Amino acid sequence: MKKIIGVVVGTMLAATGCTSAGSDDGEDKKDAAAKAAAKQLTRDATTVKPAWTVKQKMLGQPEVVGRTAVAIVKARQNELDLIGVDTATGTVTWKHPYSPGAQAPGYALSPVISQDKNGTASVVLLEPPRPLSLDNPGYWLTPIVALDPATGKERFRTRNVLAAVPLEECDDEVDACLRASYGSGTDYQNLRLDLETGRLAVDRDGLAANRRSIADGGLFSTDDRPGELIGVERDGKTLWTTPVEELAGKHHTSDTGWSVDWDEKTDRYTGYIGIGMPKTVKDRAAAGKSYDFDLAWRTQMSFDGRTGELIWRKDGVRKPCLGEGDDSDDSDNATRDPVRCAVSGTLHFVKGKLRTPSGTSVTVQGYDPVTGRTRWSAPLDQDAAHAFLQGDNADLTTAPGTLVVPTAKGPRLYEARTGTSVAMSTDDLFACEGKTATIKYVIPFDAGGENENRERYGDPMIEQCSPDGTVVDRPMTVATVKDSAQKVDSSTYVLSRSSGLVGYTLPKG
């Protein structure tokens, strides 16, 4: 489940404390929407104590499958284990050595759970060699292992592979896929592990050669430079291709990143592909020289998955914003009631370092993903806008469909669809992202061609914060647990904190 950046109020909200951004609908519809929004902004501030704690050094947040929480933990010196924990008792029921493989350090490490075509789930991982030593010539080659989530019993083991990217659930939500080779002198291929038979083979359902996936539903970019194309390939058939600049805007390329969501029901893609920096500016940035960055170079667009037709495009948009709108399981990749940050102005970089922004603005907008039209807006306080542009804003976690906006009159909690909001108290407690867990783990390459230890990381730990992002040492509330933890059932939740893996049993009712 994707975490949502924002905050959540831990108190009951009085109707008089809410304001609405308004709309053109009739009064009855407006009243009904306002009441629904006010209810969504209400959160339970009842404090809860941990039911159990597994006191180990966690590397990121767990994944839950059935009644088992699966998590990566630091083990012997610079090693890692994957553990399975009974969520009812907090008992560690199994552990297995874990390796990130040969993937680049920029990838965050997290447990992988996938299922076969019959719906049977497996934990899938790369297993490190023995001995785990830089002097071991087979250090980079790792088998893929599939485990029973409840018992940790091995189901399948493949031949060794050199994994270039993390394992993940395949695009069709069945089996496990990755891009890997079989060692020195062999080409990288898109491989699929059949979780019913244990067979590892080329993924015939994957993309054609010289294409990389940039979103679900078959969206890809090509390796051609110049001449990068964006397109959709499904069931081995290319539906369409178009030059990246025609879709995303002038100077855009996926080489400067991408973040695209697919709404399967409407077959619509929304997001960004690259940043529209002219080559002269890119060259200055790469050389460590001073340069100016126009915030209008960040562009959001939406296009049809069947035809590639551009539906709308808006310059000066930064994603992710302070919240991602409605990210519930049935909301189709957070595209139902989304929000965005409209940004304007110029950032000045001197010798690669960002100077304090001036003459810039950031406005949170709720918008209609079908048309791109803004439904409501809320400007950020100037200091908060500067912090956001510099990446220094507090990472706070909120419930689906809500987000916090630090306005000039103080922080307010907003409901994403209508823009209904309520002021937050300095006594409110919010789930927040704490320190990112890291470990020194060897990588098989660097600029000098020698082996070296490089920092790997997982998801941040979850803590509890005051509205300004200061970590507060107080019991968590029902709201902050629900908004940040992995759900096992209606009353059982688990999450990783600085103290270890923690389980909570919430009061019923």
Q: What is the pLDDT of residues 390-421, one digit of tens each?
A: 888 777 788 888 888 899 998 898 998 899 99
- CB atoms near residue 311 (< 10 Å): 15
Q: Give dist(CA 202, CA 179) in Å, integer.
A: 10
Query: 328: pLDDT confidence band, cut at 50, 70 and 90?
Result: very low
Cα atoms in the 13 Å half-sphere on the side-chain side of 117: 6
Residue found by looking up tokens 């060692």 in the block: 183
Q: What percent of the chain has pLDDT over 90?
A: 54
Examine the pLDDT at 281 and tell me if it is beyond 70.
Answer: yes
Q: Which amino acid is at 350?
A: V
pTM: 0.79
- CB atoms near residue 3 (< 10 Å): 18
Query: 303: pLDDT confidence band, cut at 50, 70 and 90?
Result: very high
Instruction: Over range 218-244, report the average pLDDT.
Output: 93
Helices (H) and strands (E) in the chain, counts: 5, 40
**What's the confidence (pLDDT) of residue 76?**
80
Phi-psi region of 155 (alpha: psi -120 to 50; beta: other; left: phi over 0): alpha
Quick: pLDDT tens for 40-71. 788 788 999 999 999 999 999 999 999 999 99
**What's the confidence (pLDDT) of residue 77?**
75
Examine the pLDDT at 430 and tell me if it is beyond 80.
Answer: yes
Instruction: Over range 99-120, report the average pLDDT.
Output: 89
**What's the confidence (pLDDT) of residue 11?**
32
**Pairing assessment for the beta strands 200-202 and 189-193 based on DSSP bridges:** antiparallel
Sign of the CA dihedral with 4 first, then 9, 15, and 17 last: negative
**What's the confidence (pLDDT) of residue 327?**
40
At residue 434, the 3 state secondary structure works out as: strand
Lowest-confidence region among 17-21, 74-78, 92-96, 399-403: 17-21
Look up residue 224 and give its two tokens. 């051609």
Instruction: Over range 22-32, report the average pLDDT.
Output: 57
Q: What is the CA radius of gyration of the chain?
A: 24
Q: Give dist(CA 300, CA 318) in Å, integer.
A: 8
Lowest-confidence region among 471-475, 478-482, 486-490: 471-475
Quick: pLDDT tens for 117-159. 999 999 999 998 876 665 555 667 899 999 999 999 999 999 9
**What's the confidence (pLDDT) of residue 336?**
56
Q: What percent of the chain has pLDDT over 70?
A: 85
Q: Give dist(CA 19, CA 132) in Å, integer.
A: 59
Look up residue 375 and give its two tokens. 């439904």
**Higher per-residue pLDDT: 43 or 252:** 252
Residue found by looking up tokens 């922004």 in the block: 357
Phi-psi region of 478 (alpha: psi -120 to 50; beta: other; left: phi over 0): alpha
- CB atoms near residue 91 (< 10 Å): 11
Looking at residue 287, the DSSP 8-state letter turns out to be: T
Pick the most confident of 177-186, 226-235, 335-344, 424-433: 226-235
Is residue 362 within 8 A of residue 343, CB to CB? The reply is yes
Examine the pLDDT at 37 and tell me if it is beyond 60.
Answer: yes
**Higher per-residue pLDDT: 211 or 307:** 307
Query: 321: pLDDT confidence band, cut at 50, 70 and 90?
Result: confident
Instruction: Over range 249-255, report the average pLDDT.
Output: 92
Backbone torsions φ then ψ of 471, nearest 5 degrees: -65, 130
**What's the confidence (pLDDT) of residue 397?**
84
- CB atoms near residue 102 (< 10 Å): 21
Task: Give the helix/strand (H/E) hosting 506.
Answer: none
**What's the confidence (pLDDT) of residue 331?**
36
Is residue 419 within 8 A of residue 376, CB to CB? The reply is yes
Bridge partners of residue 166, in order along the sequence: none
Look up residue 289 and give its two tokens. 């020289």
Q: Where exactly are the structural domains of the chain?
A: 50-205+485-508, 207-288+301-308
What is the average pLDDT score of the chain?
85
